Amino acid sequence: MLNNVISFQSLLIQGIGQILTYYGYVILLIILAHLGELFKRLKLPLLIISSIGAIYFQLQFGSYFDIGMSVVFSFTLTAELFLLKIPSFSKYDYGYIFLTLLFPDRIFSSALSVLGYSLVFAVLIFVLPMLIKLHQQKLKNHMLEICFSYIYLSLTAYILKLCSNITTLQLNLPFRLLRYLPFIFELITSTIIICLTYILGKHFKKFLLRLKYANLQYPKVSIWSYLLVIFTTLLLFGLNFISIIITHNVDNILISFIPIFGIILLTIELAFICLGLYLLYYRQQLSQVNSIIKSENTEETLMNLRKVRHDIKNLFFTMGSFINQSSDETLKEYFWNEIYPFAEQEISKSKIIQEFYQIPVLPLRSLLQVKSTQIIDQKIKFDVNINIKHFFLGIEIIDLSRILGILIDNAIEESKQLNDGEISLSIKEIDNEISYIIKNKVHVGFSMENILQHKTSKVGHHGLGLQIVQDIVNNYSNLNLNTFKNGNYLIQAINIEK
């Protein structure tokens, strides 16, 4: 018994060492990928160098047959991520994902003995977050996507590994054919899995997009999903340990049933997340119905306010007619030069501010009202056009506020340099997308190159605002910023998918 314990402890120590070695290999690949992000021209050369290094690393631990099995395994999981696009990566990222998941079983010879194919959890739970952080993105913005991908990939990885163990079956076949049977079975299984994933990604695209929306709107769901992932990982790790301790043997009948139990458990968890998303979608639909009712009431209120504003304007104009009949020239001058322009400006400001009541989110509405007041106070011509029926944020409120705040501030700064500055803000809803369009007049010789390179022409500034905007945009796959110049106008459109 003592020898068994010592053997188990030895395997455990060796297994931990093998996992740490693999993590070091992944970190090295991530560093090379990060260098590619910093130096765009080196992206492809660095990926080629990484591929050569990865192949050399594989050859140190496995035969050509083992590497072939590893290629099929890695290609399957990478293809699944590519087809599902949750979370979405660049084409170079998928190359690095393929390399990080490329490992023959012999690399983890001791770890597999102790942990079994639960080892897949230790791999995926490390690789996916590292790749998200590669683009300096917030993990909390993608936690639900990571959990879903983690469970889905772990499920298919388990199935692949079970199929690759077909040699345990007692088949009456020639040895040469029997040797390649695991590879053939894994290849067939891989093809089936990729085809099913393609169908899932194509026919359930809207459902998968809800993962991104739910992650942002319901952070508690992400937290519970993450706890579910941690529970699954610890449970399956624990089952391997317990079975070895009970039987004093790393190759026992209990361990052979753990992958089957793992597949059942992962399937239930996947169904649990899908059910949760469906309930959230149902809740969202109810919220939209309430929003429609509120918007109808808001529209009625705005119509009444427009009538009042029109009456006040007429009242001031009538008052001016009476003052014109007066012989007091000082009163006339004061009324037409001070009182009437001030009243007209305040009425115009009130009109614009009231337009923003169509936006149901108070912090965003308040920001736009404050910025509108700043523009009007600067005597800049300002126009607002809002056309939304079913408002949604799509991204975190703080990030949307920062983007709009920076872009509007830049438009104000540019307009202050002109004698006839103009700014317009449009908020439109088209299908499942909301667009915030900021349009402002620019001076002659305005450089679009500075905007596209996130630089500024303002003295004493370094274009940090523009860089912040781009960093935020990079954090979201459902957000894009289109910038272009039309004549003397700069147009910046923020588009957010539902």
What's the topology of domain 359-498? Heat Shock Protein 90 (3.30.565)
DSSP character at residue 339? I
For residue 2, the model assigns a pLDDT of 41
Instruction: Name the least confident of 8-22, 69-83, 205-219, 425-439.
Output: 205-219
Q: What is the pLDDT of residues 301-315, one digit of tens each?
A: 555 555 555 556 666
Mean pLDDT value across residues 140-168: 74
| Three-class DSSP category at 445 | coil
CA–CA separation, 158 and 161 (whole Å)? 5
For residue 254, the model assigns a pLDDT of 64
Q: DSSP string of 176-243?
A: HHHHHHHHHHHHHHHHHHHHHHHHHHHHTHHHHHHHHHHHHH-HHHHHHHHHHHHHHHHHHHHHHHHH
CA–CA separation, 197 and 78 (whole Å)? 11
For residues 92 and 47, the answer to whether their CB atoms sit within 8 Å is yes
73 phi/psi in degrees, rounded to 5: -60, -50
pLDDT classification of 1: cutoffs 50, 70, 90: very low
Q: Where are the domains of the chain?
A: 2-287, 359-498
Q: What is the pLDDT of residues 332-356, one digit of tens each?
A: 676 667 666 666 666 666 677 777 7
Q: Is the pLDDT score of 274 beyond 80? A: no
CA–CA separation, 216 and 104 (whole Å)? 37
- Residue in 427, 426, 419 with CA at minimum distance from that of residue 381: 419
Greatest mean pLDDT range, 55-64, 181-190, 280-289, 402-411: 402-411
Q: What is the pLDDT of residues 103-153, one digit of tens each?
A: 766 777 666 666 666 666 666 666 666 666 555 455 666 677 777 888 888
Q: Is the pLDDT score of 184 beyond 50? A: yes
Q: What is the pLDDT of residues 52-72, one digit of tens each?
A: 888 887 777 767 777 888 888
- Residue in 15, 269, 237, 25 with CA at minimum distance from that of residue 130: 25
Answer yes or no: pTM beyond 0.85: no
For residues 98 and 86, the answer to whether their CB atoms sit within 8 Å is no
